[in-house]
């Protein structure tokens, strides 16, 4: 994550073009013309074969340039580019757009990257369409023109898409703050651009055309950060690409690449759309309308048919038609003609003039049962569409001024000529409008989806149950024994032993070497009161036992069990003579009438690493295909979200006389598997199928685990292949304060919101003022969520917990810049803990963490009267200076030793 020198790409004062040409139609000539068209800065042409082009002086090489270019645009054959980059870096240039293609084919990529890295010179490309920044007039591309200036930024992995959008956007009147063709992304990638554009004040929304993600953890971290501050909307190509051709596990066969991308986008808070028109509609909606707090839509229309079309589409998208209150209906009855529709949609009749639109909107917007309003106008000879639009705008303005949280209003003005002036009025005021009711409803669906995803990012998960424990060490022993013998596929008993180490209930299983032992094991189970048993083949060469006749169920006596084992041996011997048969497993039949068969699985995605799957299980799992994917790590809230994406979840909640399954037990099983994925990178595939679930809980009847695909993590270290950095449990530590009091200092978790109310009550307002620079007694949920739901890839917070009272005693916090070079710190302790060494302990932990993360400098702002903090900073070696922008603050900085790799 680095945005170092990226600003040079977007706001250069001088540009050098390498490969400028006098040949019409060439890339060099096209880029030259584009640079001279609107760019107000200096442009230097570089081509050793020309002394001038079109009357403009041409320089032989970098050394002969009269100044240092802020930006280089390079369109020369690949073999020359590394040397050009080296020369530019030595001269002082820090940014380049490399349009040239062919580096990978000629084996020059590493040389290019190394030449740039030595000087922190940032490269867009190679093999890219170029870069366009309308606000500065910079067109460093071979596009056929410049887009309008606006507030949308476009990142594209296809130059052709940029060209098409550029052409379309001008006709549609859509403007851009930037258009960036990413090319091969040997340096600047999607994560870097998302970080830069998230902070760019000229950009209101970020649009992406995406073909692939190269660095999943970096992308997810940057995308989650950007999506919290402005809409991020994506089109991902290849939605129907064939996936998992050679998958051996159910999870692998069901986990298509596109489904994983969907899971990643949801987790990051990115809105996905399917076509270019939707991309801009979604951007208009999300960047201009307030967030909605629900999906209850009221429709006001002067044409009943148009209202019905809107309702049909709303239901298609899973929306809710608002149920208007009795008060609202009564008020509408007073205001509208007798023949109005008496419900929602509110049909105000075809002769409705502007006054009727205003009256209806005012009444409906005040209804607490309504979350958003759609206003539709059908052109008639009885009333002016333009006047109706003006009335609607007046109502929107009153709505925005009247309410602290104004409701979203969407408009659909039907027709062509009659609606042109109205649409222009809406556009001039920045309000999105649509040509059809169906399009308006689609826009509303984007608004509700985005709002739901944003709320999900801020929701506080439940705490894990008391005594939650996993035994990674025991699981590692089992895996090591299997891989040590040359196997990657664990036997069923081994797989169940791993599950048991992670607290997932499994059915008791006995290994039998031959049919006679099967009979003996069955007799023991039956003697203990079991009605019948199941016998399964035990072979690492057979992945799906049922498919090969390797499972026999409901065997009610020992002799039958032995006979089933003998028949199994004969059948498999004939079908798979090369299979190594190690014996059988015998287990009691679990009789849980009404239990649901589920599947929990883990698979390895080539881009996003380990993924977790949940859904309807059983032998028909790949036929039913009712599953959903999520990226680990999961908490209880994310586990529930995953469950709710499946159809089987509706059954799990209970229906008719069938009780609900123990949903919390299923959530906990998912969290335990997530923990397993984080702690055991050796596991690359896992199927628990079926996992029986009913009102009593869950139990795994069968399990399949493949290990050995990844290196075992050192003790205390977590899976490096996770796309989202997991909770860093290795930083949990008991600390003894100078007075002998023992406390726990650990990284913060989302569920730690519960501690803040008591912490604020026991902290003096003056202490809070010295930390936050404003006196507060209570923090709102949204604010606390931002404090507790952090991205461990770019921030850290340590909380001190009293093990006896289970209360938070203090907290220290670090937020790194995208370059991970500097980080702002903050620390506060409860008032009754001042003077006990807690602030010192929290600060030292923060410093150790910053050193481990190779952060070069810690900095903070301290109130000038906060003498205790300033004294601690002096003792820790901070430099203390006056904050230049605020006389009431001191700026403190600490340089940290960084070991270069």
Range of the domain at 313: 286-458
In a shared domain, residues 743 and 838: yes
| Mean pLDDT of the 53-65 span | 94
Contact 151, 177 (CB under 8 A): yes
What is the edge-to-edge ordering of all strands in the sheet holding 533-538? 510-512, 583-588, 533-538, 551-555
Q: Where residue 702 sits, what CATH number does that domain have?
A: 3.30.470.20
In a shared domain, residues 734 and 868: yes
Beta strand pairing call for 742-747 and 795-802: antiparallel
Long-range contacts of 456-459 (CB under 8 A, 24+ apart): 456/266, 456/269, 456/637, 456/641, 457/224, 457/227, 457/228, 457/269, 457/789, 458/781, 458/782, 458/785, 458/786, 458/789, 459/637, 459/785
> Does 703 map to a domain?
yes
In a shared domain, residues 513 and 501: no
In a shared domain, residues 658 and 773: no
**Residue 1: pLDDT over 70:** no
| Mean pLDDT of the 409-413 span | 93
Long-range contacts of 653-658 (CB under 8 A, 24+ apart): 658/594
288-292, 598-602, 647-651, 743-747 — which is least confidently predicted? 288-292
What is the model's pLDDT at position 173? Answer: 80
> Does 836 map to a domain?
yes
- The per-residue pLDDT for range 311-359, each reduced to its tens digit, is 999 999 989 999 999 999 999 999 999 999 999 999 999 999 999 999 9
How far apart CA 98 and CA 256 sit, in angstroms, is 34
What is the model's pLDDT at position 247? Answer: 42
Q: Is 413 helix (H, G, I), strand (E, B) or coil?
A: strand
Q: How confident is the model at residue 506 (pLDDT cuts 50, 70, 90)?
A: very high
- The per-residue pLDDT for range 119-129, each reduced to its tens digit, is 999 999 999 99
In a shared domain, residues 295 and 415: yes
- The per-residue pLDDT for range 203-253, each reduced to its tens digit, is 999 999 999 898 999 999 999 999 999 999 999 987 655 433 434 454 445
Q: Where residue 328 sits, what CATH number does that domain have?
A: 3.40.50.261
In a shared domain, residues 615 and 706: yes
- The per-residue pLDDT for range 684-739, each reduced to its tens digit, is 999 999 999 999 999 999 999 999 765 665 555 788 999 999 999 899 999 999 98
In a shared domain, residues 799 and 820: yes
- The per-residue pLDDT for range 141-167, each reduced to its tens digit, is 999 999 999 999 999 999 999 999 998
**Residue 565: pLDDT over 90:** yes
Please say which residue of 724, 751, 784 terminates a domain: 724
DSSP state of 174: -
What is the model's pLDDT at position 806? Answer: 93
- The per-residue pLDDT for range 12-22, each reduced to its tens digit, is 999 999 999 99
How far apart CA 582 and CA 633 sit, in angstroms, is 36
Between 167 and 64, residue with greater pLDDT: 64
In a shared domain, residues 418 and 301: yes
> Does 224 map to a domain?
no
In a shared domain, residues 709 and 792: no
Contact 359, 324 (CB under 8 A): no
> Does 813 map to a domain?
yes
In a shared domain, residues 675 and 699: yes
- The per-residue pLDDT for range 79-129, each reduced to its tens digit, is 999 999 999 999 999 999 999 999 988 889 999 999 999 999 999 999 999
The encoded tokens of residue 458 equal 């801020």
Please say which residue of 443, 458, 473 terminates a domain: 458
Please say which residue of 704, 724, 744 terminates a domain: 724
Pick from 575, 666, 659, 581: which is nearest to 615 by CA? 666
In degrees and rounded to multiples of 5, residue 833 shows phi and psi of -105, 0
| Mean pLDDT of the 476-504 span | 93
**Residue 776: pLDDT over 80:** no
| Mean pLDDT of the 381-395 span | 93
Torsion sign over Cα 384, 385, 391, 393: negative
To which H or E segment does residue 73 belong?
Answer: strand 71-74
**Residue 681: pLDDT over 60:** yes
In a shared domain, residues 606 and 686: yes
Domain count, the chain: 4
Q: Where residue 543 sits, what CATH number does that domain have?
A: 3.30.1490.20
In a shared domain, residues 557 and 490: no
- The per-residue pLDDT for range 571-618, each reduced to its tens digit, is 998 888 888 898 999 999 988 888 999 999 999 999 999 999 999 998
86-118 core/surface letters (b: 16 or more CB in 10 A; e: else): bbbbebebbbbbbbbeebeeeebbebbbebbee
Q: How confident is the model at residue 463 (pLDDT cuts 50, 70, 90)?
A: confident
């Amino acid at each position: 994550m680095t945005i170092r020198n990226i600003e040079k790409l977007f706001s250069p004062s001088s540009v050098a073009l390498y490969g400028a040409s006098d040949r019409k139609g060439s890339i060099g000539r096209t880029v030259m013309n584009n640079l001279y068209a609107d760019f107000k800065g200096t442009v230097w042409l570089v081509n050793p074969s020309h002394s001038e082009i079109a009357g403009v002086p041409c320089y032989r090489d970098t050394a002969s340039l009269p100044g240092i270019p802020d930006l280089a645009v390079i369109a020369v054959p690949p073999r020359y580019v590394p040397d050009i980059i080296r020369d530019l870096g030595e001269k002082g240039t820090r940014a380049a757009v490399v349009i040239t293609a062919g580096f990978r084919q000629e084996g020059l990529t590493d040389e290019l990257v190394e030449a740039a890295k030595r000087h922190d010179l940032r490269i867009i490309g190679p093999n890219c369409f170029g870069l366009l920044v309308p606000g500065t007039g910079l067109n460093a591309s071979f596009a056929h023109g410049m887009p309008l200036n606006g507030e949308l930024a476009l990142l594209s992995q296809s130059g052709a898409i940029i060209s098409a959008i550029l052409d379309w956007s001008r006709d549609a009147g859509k403007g851009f703050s930037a258009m960036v063709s990413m090319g091969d992304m040997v340096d600047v990638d999607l994560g870097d651009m998302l970080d830069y554009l998230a902070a760019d004040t000229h950009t209101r929304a970020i649009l992406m055309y995406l073909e692939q993600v190269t660095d999943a953890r970096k992308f997810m971290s940057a995308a989650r950060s950007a999506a919290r501050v402005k809409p991020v909307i994506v089109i991902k190509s290849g939605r129907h690409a064939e996936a998992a051709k050679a998958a051996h596990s159910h999870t692998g066969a069901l986990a298509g690449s596109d489904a994983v991308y969907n899971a990643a986008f949801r987790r990051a808070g990115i809105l996905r759309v399917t076509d270019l028109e939707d991309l801009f509609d979604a951007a208009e909606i999300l960047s201009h309308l307030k967030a909605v707090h629900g999906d209850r839509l009221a429709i006001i229309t002067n044409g009943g048919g148009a209202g019905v079309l809107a309702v049909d589409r709303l239901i298609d998208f899973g929306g809710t038609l608002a149920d208007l209150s009795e008060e609202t209906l009564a008020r509408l009855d007073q205001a509208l003609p007798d023949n109005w529709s008496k419900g929602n949609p509110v049909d105000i009749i075809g002769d409705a003039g502007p006054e009727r639109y205003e009256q209806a909107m005012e009444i409906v917007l005040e209804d607490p049962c309504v979350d958003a309003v759609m206003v539709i106008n059908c052109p008639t000879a009885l009333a002016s569409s333009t006047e109706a639009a003006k009335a609607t705008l007046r109502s929107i303005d009153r709505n925005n001024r009247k309410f602290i949280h104004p409701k979203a209003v969407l408009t659909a003005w039907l027709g062509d000529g009659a609606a042109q002036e109205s649409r222009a009025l809406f556009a001039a005021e920045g309000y999105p409008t649509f040509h059809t009711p169906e399009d308006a409803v689609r826009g509303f669906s984007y608004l509700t989806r985005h709002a739901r995803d944003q709320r999900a990012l801020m929701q506080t998960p439940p705490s894990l149950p008391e005594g939650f424990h996993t035994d990674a060490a025991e699981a590692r022993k089992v895996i090591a024994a299997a891989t040590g013998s040359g196997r990657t596929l664990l036997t069923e008993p081994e797989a169940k032993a791993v599950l048991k180490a992670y607290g997932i209930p499994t059915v008791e299983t006995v290994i039998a070497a031959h049919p006679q032992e099967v009979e003996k094991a069955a007799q023991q189970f039956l003697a203990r009161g079991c009605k019948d048993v199941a016998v399964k083949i035990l072979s690492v060469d057979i992945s799906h036992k049922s498919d090969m006749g390797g499972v026999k169920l409901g065997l009610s006596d020992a002799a039958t069990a032995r006979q089933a084992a003998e028949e199994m041996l004969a059948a498999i011997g004939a079908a798979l003579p090369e299979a190594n048969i190690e014996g059988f497993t015998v287990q009691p039949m679990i009789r849980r009438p009404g239990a649901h068969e589920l599947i929990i699985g883990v698979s390895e995605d080539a881009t996003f690493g380990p993924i977790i799957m949940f859904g309807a299980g059983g032998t028909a799992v790949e036929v039913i295909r009712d599953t959903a994917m999520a990226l680990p790590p999961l908490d209880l809230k994310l586990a529930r979200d995953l469950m709710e994406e499946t159809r089987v979840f509706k059954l799990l909640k209970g229906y008719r006389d069938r009780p609900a399954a123990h949903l919390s037990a299923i959530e906990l099983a998912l969290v335990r598997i997530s923990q397993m994925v984080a702690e055991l990178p050796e596991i690359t595939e896992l199927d628990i199928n079926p996992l029986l679930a009913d009102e009593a809980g869950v139990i795994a009847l069968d399990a399949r685990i493949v290990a050995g695909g990844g290196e075992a993590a050192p003790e205390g270290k977590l899976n490096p292949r996770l796309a989202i950095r997991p909770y860093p449990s290795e930083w949990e530590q008991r600390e003894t304060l100078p007075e002998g009091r023992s406390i726990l200092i650990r990284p913060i978790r989302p569920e730690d919101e519960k501690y803040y109310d008591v912490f604020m009550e026991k902290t003096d307002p003056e202490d809070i003022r010295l930390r936050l620079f404003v006196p507060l007694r209570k923090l709102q949920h949204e604010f606390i969520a931002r404090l507790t739901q952090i991205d461990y890839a770019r921030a850290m917070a340590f909380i001190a917990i009293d093990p006896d009272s289970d209360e938070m005693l203090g907290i220290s916090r670090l937020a790194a810049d995208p370059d991970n070079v500097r980080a702002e710190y903050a620390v506060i302790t409860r008032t009754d803990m001042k003077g006990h060494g807690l602030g010192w302990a929290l600060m030292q932990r923060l410093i150790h963490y910053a050193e481990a993360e190779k952060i070069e400098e810690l900095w903070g702002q301290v109130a000038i009267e906060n003498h205790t903090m300033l004294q601690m900073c002096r003792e820790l070696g901070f430099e203390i200076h006056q904050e230049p922008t605020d006389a009431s603050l001191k700026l403190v900085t600490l340089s940290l030793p960084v070991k270069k790799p």
